[in-house]
Amino acid sequence: MRHDLFQENQHLKNQLRELIDSVGSYRGTQRRFENFELKLLECQNFKTLIDCLIETIITDFNLDNVSLTLFDPNHIAREMLGSLLPHQQHLSFVDVYQNLCLPFRELQASNSWPGGSPGSMRPQLSSSLAYIKLAGFESTGVKSVAILPLIRENLLIGYFCLGSYTKKRFSPDLAIQLLSHLSAVIAVCLENTLSREQLHQLSQIDMLTRVKNRRAFDKDLRREIARSERDKLPLSCLFADLDYFKIINDTYGHPTGDRTLKAVASSIQELLRETDVLARIGGEEFTVLLPNTESEKARDIAERIRHKIEHIEIPDDKEQIVRLTTSIGYASWAPGMLSNETVDDVHRRLMSAADRAVYKAKESGRNRVRGEQYSQLRDS
């Protein structure tokens, strides 16, 4: 009997030791999840958040692969990331909601995924080929996956997939409470950063022409002045004022006037470099910021813009062709000429010089390009 009690006691000790080890392991895992969620919450913009989801999580959790699929019907997420999408092999976007839900519906139809609406799905873990295909890992050597549906207000906004080369890493019998919490945090962070950046972007854009507005232009001009001073590079500014634009509105109507402004903005943008900045700063006034551009080059660019606008054809509501011209003024600034100018001084004087040049173009017959010499501050 004593032997039996001893054996039972040893067995209980082993069970307690395993339980303590299990609790310690869970606490360590929980801390890793909490630390990673804090990193997500600290991301200030969408690109940083994507970097965290795709790069940081692989390191923090020793993963072999990840993928993120997002519902992006208006291409807002893609626009935030720019034309060269980072981590392109790990990212995909879906424009139609039914297509986003379709892979899960198919798994539900085959009883491979628990039933229910897409907006109520919970994370699932599996080593099945169907799950690996859903994650986009079928040719990567991944043996098991965790699929995290991203839900906001009972709607599926995407799904995040974790992959491992080990078949037992994401087995269905594992507890998923931490993954459920992580998927909720990811969904909130995605929605918040996209909304915040979209609001910021809207505050910087002229809604009709989709180019920058006066506020954004002023900010960019100050930044470029500081950069030009640092790098000792010239900087030029163009003002383009459409000739007799009021007549177009009065004669053909405001819808035609709006189409005209859109066409002008698009035509100017086609002639600019990626580093140049185009903005609409008034009703029919546009301005162009040209970094690292001397006066002679600025005049050439202004002439090309004037010539292109002169040949724009805009149909009115009755399919009649409307044509227009523009008067353009330019001014240039070279850094380091005097030491007592601030960024605000250069900003004010460069804009003022370009504005005076526009009036010169108007007074000399319109549909002209005129320059104005930048007026330096006097030495004190």
pLDDT digits (tens, 9 = 90+) for 268-294: 999 999 899 999 998 899 999 999 999
Residue 320's pLDDT is: 82
Residue 86's pLDDT is: 62
Name all domains of the chain by residue range, CATH numbers in brackets.
Answer: 29-203 (3.30.450.40), 214-371 (3.30.70.270)
Round to whole Å and give the CA distance between 192 and 204. Answer: 19
Q: Give mean pLDDT, residues 304-327.
A: 90
**pLDDT beyond 60 at 22:** no
Residue 362's pLDDT is: 93
Q: List all residues 6 or more positions away from 164 whose beta carbon is below 8 Å from its beta carbon.
A: 63, 64, 65, 142, 143, 144, 145, 170
pLDDT tier for residue 380 given thresholds of 50, 70 and 90:
very low
Least-confidence region, from 82-91, 100-109, 300-309, 346-355? 82-91
**pLDDT beyond 90 at 310:** yes
pLDDT tier for residue 377 given thresholds of 50, 70 and 90:
low
At 318, give phi and psi (nearest 5°).
Answer: -105, 15
DSSP 8-state symbol, 352: H
Q: Which residue did the predictor score with more confidence, 137 or 178?
A: 137
Round to whole Å and give the CA distance between 258 and 255. Answer: 5
Round to whole Å and give the CA distance between 258 and 248. Answer: 10
Q: What pTM value is reported for the model?
A: 0.61
The angle, 0 to 180 degrees and rounded to 10, between the axes of the packed helices 343-363 and 214-231 is 120
Indicate the helix (H) or strand (E) that contains 13. helix 2-42
- Tell the residue number behind the tokens 């990840």, with chain if given: 66
Q: In the structure encoding, which two tokens stand for residue 14, read together?
A: 């082993």
Q: Give mean pLDDT, residues 153-161.
A: 94
Residue 21's pLDDT is: 43
Burial class (CB in 10 A: 0-12, 13-18, 19+), 231: exposed
Instruction: Print burial letters for 27-55: b (CB count within 10 Å at least 16), e (below 16).
Output: eeeeeebeebbebbeebeebbebbebbbe
pLDDT tier for residue 19 given thresholds of 50, 70 and 90:
very low
Residue 194's pLDDT is: 86
The active-site residue out of 153, 270, 274, 284 is: 284
Beta strands in the chain (DSSP E): 65-71, 91-94, 124-126, 144-152, 155-164, 235-242, 277-280, 285-291, 314-315, 321-322, 326-333, 369-371
Residue 83's pLDDT is: 57
DSSP 8-state symbol, 239: E
Residue type (1 letter), 4: D
Residue 272's pLDDT is: 93
Residue 319's pLDDT is: 79
Least-confidence region, from 13-22, 29-38, 155-164, 196-205? 13-22
Do the strands 369-371 and 326-333 form a parallel or antiparallel pair, or are they unpaired? parallel
Residue 326's pLDDT is: 95
Residue 183's pLDDT is: 92
The mean of the pLDDT values for the chain is 86
Q: Per residue in 92-128, pLDDT tens? A: 999 999 999 999 999 999 998 998 888 899 999 999 9
Q: List all residues 6 or more positions away from 193 whose beta carbon is below 8 Å from its beta carbon.
A: 43, 44, 45, 46, 49
Q: Per residue in 235-270, pLDDT tens? A: 999 999 999 999 998 888 889 999 999 999 999 999
Closest residue by Cα to residue 51 from 41, 40, 61: 40
DSSP 3-state of 331? strand
Q: Per residue in 194-203, pLDDT tens? A: 888 777 777 7
Round to whole Å and give the CA distance between 197 and 203. Answer: 10
**pLDDT beyond 60 at 164:** yes
**pLDDT beyond 70 at 334:** yes
pLDDT tier for residue 378 given thresholds of 50, 70 and 90:
low
- Our answer to whether residue 34 is catalytic in this structure is no
Round to whole Å and give the CA distance between 372 and 357. Answer: 5
